[in-house]
Amino acid sequence: MKSILLEMDRILRPSAFVIIRESYYFMDAIATLAKGMRWLCLKQDTEYNVENEKLLICQKKLWYSKDSNSL
């Protein structure tokens, strides 16, 4: 799961969105990894309010390191 998210982070451009539809059991782990990559995440119910499925909508943000100001 972590390697897939890292590859998505490499491919996506800043401000791009990812919509992940997964069981509620895995959603917290995916959200934790995505927030660690500095993505903004929002959990939503599915269109049919299925109890065991949720949507995770994430947006990749553009960020700089603290040392980038010295360039």
pLDDT of residue 71: 54
Q: Residue 42 — very low, low, confident or very high, per pLDDT cuts 50/70/90?
A: very high
pTM, full prediction: 0.80
46 pLDDT above the threshold of 80? yes
Cite the beta strand spans of 1-71 per DSSP E.
17-23, 39-45, 53-60
pLDDT of residue 55: 94
For the stretch 51-70, pLDDT in tens is 789 999 999 998 777 776 65
Phi, psi dihedrals of residue 62, rounded to the nearest 5°: -85, 125
Q: What letter would DSSP give residue 62?
A: -
For the stretch 7-38, pLDDT in tens is 999 999 999 999 999 998 899 999 999 999 99
